[in-house]
Chain A
Amino acid sequence: MNPENERELLINMGPQHPATHGVLRLVLEVEGEIVKRCTPYIGYLHRGLEKLAEDLTYVQSLPLTDRLDYLSSMVNNVGFCLCVEKLLGINVPERAKFIRTMLSEMARICSHLVWIATHALDIGAMTVFLYAMRDREKLLELFEMVTGARLTVSYPRIGGVRCDVSNEFLKKLERFIDEFPKRVEEYETLIDRNRVWLKRTKGVGVISAEEAINWGLTGPTLRGSGVYYDVRKFFPYDAYDKVEFDVPVGKNGDIYDRYKCRMLEFRQSVRIIKQCIERLPEGPILADNAPKIRMPASPLKIDKEDVQFEIYVDDKSVEDFIKKFTDIYASVEAPRGELGFYIVCDDSAKPYRMRVRAPSFVHTGALPRLCEGGLIADVIANIGSIDIVLGECDR
């Protein structure tokens, strides 16, 4: 080799790179085609959401959560509502629970469709993009029918959902999910046994089960490594304990297994939606004690009898402190992984602190682990396979 070519090269990838799925910047230190070091830089989309929420009431914060993961805003809303409901002790009516579950799974299909579209496009399979976007359009129309919005739905309310679903919508949705499994097969015929696809994905970006847990991966990215962890099964919320579904788990932990997990999730989502339509109970859609748009300034009605504590230090002020601040963590299985909300409440209508545990943030952190030692071209495939949305990553 020419000695002049033996030096290391620094490549700046992004923030305006089409394959980084948003404004992610990677600094790659390469030696030839091999990536020696990969340093992600994030924060280009930072809007200070956690600080903003401290200045708004719980009800007002809800539309903010749409802007986290804008491809599946429904799940974000549900996550936030669940956390506040757990805090205030609101029991959501059955019908609302089923509607939420149904729409969450629609959002999961929607989000996975964008993922397969862009991921395949990045690796070089253009056709899938067109088909996936076509089907997503139908789902977005269904979303519009119920919620009035296509992307940022703001549909759930603390204690239920905003409005009821119509029979017309249910019929349309049923028609969609009847034909959707065939569509998934259609995508698979395009890429599943495609030689280029297999070469690009099999044995690339491998992460073992222990390491995946160590790096905090969640969702299909973790399950691709063979770890059985799904918030819907471990800590069931909404109607997930009343419907039957399986959690697909991979084996090798490479890009192909992660892809396979998501493809199988399509079918499980269809299964869940079908059961939700069949079993949708009648009844109210909003709990009686749900907070109104104008929340009371203070104090909130939190049942302090639920709080049990034991203090081991000799300090009088501790008891007052414990009684004043209540904190709660609740999480949902977003299409990307575990989306958690941690809220500290000081009995006023505004959260004292709201923290969003975003799966994309964690996954971006694990990107160097996946990319280092691989080829430059595989960086793109890796970014696609962990399925990040930068709006959620930067908050």
Chain B
Amino acid sequence: MNPVEIIKKIKDRFPEDVLWFRCFRDQCDLTIKREKIKEILSYVKNTPLLEFNYLVDLTAVDYLGFREPRFDVIYIIMSIKHKHRLIIKAQVPEHGCCIDTVSDLWATANWFEREVFDMFGIFFKGHPDLRRILLPEDWNGYPLRKDYPVISDLGDKEWEPFRELKEAGKGWREDES
């Protein structure tokens, strides 16, 4: 099946939820509402001829100031049997920033979702273990959001946990008073 046929098939099955689709070069993506994300993904995973059995990537993009709802959660899925790839995007607003987890459909989504939570602060409902993954547990803010500065707003001040560590370690080195 070519990508446009796949999209038409999904559109016929979920007419209410598909917002728009776009094709750019050989790649197609589909933007949907977030409510039925799990239903749609398990549909494309289990329907014959689609069989998107492989989750390549799960990430998010922040469109602050360009669009309302602010976030897109992006699922790149692929079928090893039929050799096709599709991108599905689910819109997530800033308030009530959450979406259903798909970690029970694909085990690999577990860590991807943790990373999206870590970097964007999007909550995944029903996720078994939603903790920060790349950053320390006590980190403030979500770095990949567009309103998070590239250069730290701490300025010359030290990061609080680091200062505490230094305090705790005082007196150990000989050249230190």
Contact = CB atoms under 8 A, between A and B. Distances in A.
B20 A215 contact: no
A312 B20 contact: yes
Contact of B22 (A89, A308, A366, A369): A308
A234 B83 contact: yes
Given A308-B23, A327-B24, A366-B108, A213 B53 contact: yes
Interface of A: 42-43, 46, 48, 50-52, 54-55, 86, 89, 211, 213-216, 227-229, 234-235, 306-313, 317-318, 321-322, 324-329, 331, 338, 340, 342, 344, 352-353, 355, 357, 361-362, 364-366, 369, 394-395
Contacts of A86: 25
A355 B134 contact: no
- Looking at chain A's contact residues, the main secondary structure is mixed
Q: Name, among A51, A211, A338, A394, the residue most crowded by chain B CB atoms within 10 Å (CB to CB).
A: A51
A216 B107 contact: yes
Interface stretch (B58-66, B93-101, B163-171): B58-66
Contacts of B27: 328-329
B133 A42 contact: yes
19 contacts: A42-B134, A43-B134, A46-B134, A86-B25, A213-B53, A213-B80, A215-B108, A307-B22, A310-B21, A312-B11, A313-B19, A317-B67, A327-B29, A353-B62, A355-B57, A357-B57, A361-B111, A361-B115, A365-B110
B21 to A, nearest CB: 6
Contacts of B24: 306-308, 326-328
Given A216-B108, A310-B21, A324-B66, A342 B59 contact: yes
B56 interface: yes
B18 A312 contact: yes
Contacts of B59: 342, 355, 357
A51 B143 contact: yes
Contacts of B29: 327
A105 to B, nearest CB: 23
Q: Which 5 A-B pairs have the closest CB atoms?
A: A216-B108, A365-B111, A43-B134, A309-B22, A311-B20
Nearest to B28: A308
A54 B150 contact: yes
Contacts of B150: 51-52, 54-55
A307 B59 CA distance: 22
Given A310-B21, A344-B61, A362-B108, A216 B134 contact: no
Given A216-B108, A325-B63, A342 B143 contact: no
Contacts of A52: 150
Contact of B56 (A54, A89, A308, A340): A340
B110 to A, nearest CB: 6
A313 B20 contact: yes
B87 interface: yes
A33 B83 CA distance: 43
Contact of A369 (B57, B63, B80, B107): B107
B34 to A, nearest CB: 14
B40 interface: no
B22 A338 contact: no
B61 A353 contact: yes
A227 B83 CA distance: 13
A310 B11 CA distance: 11
Contacts of A394: 134
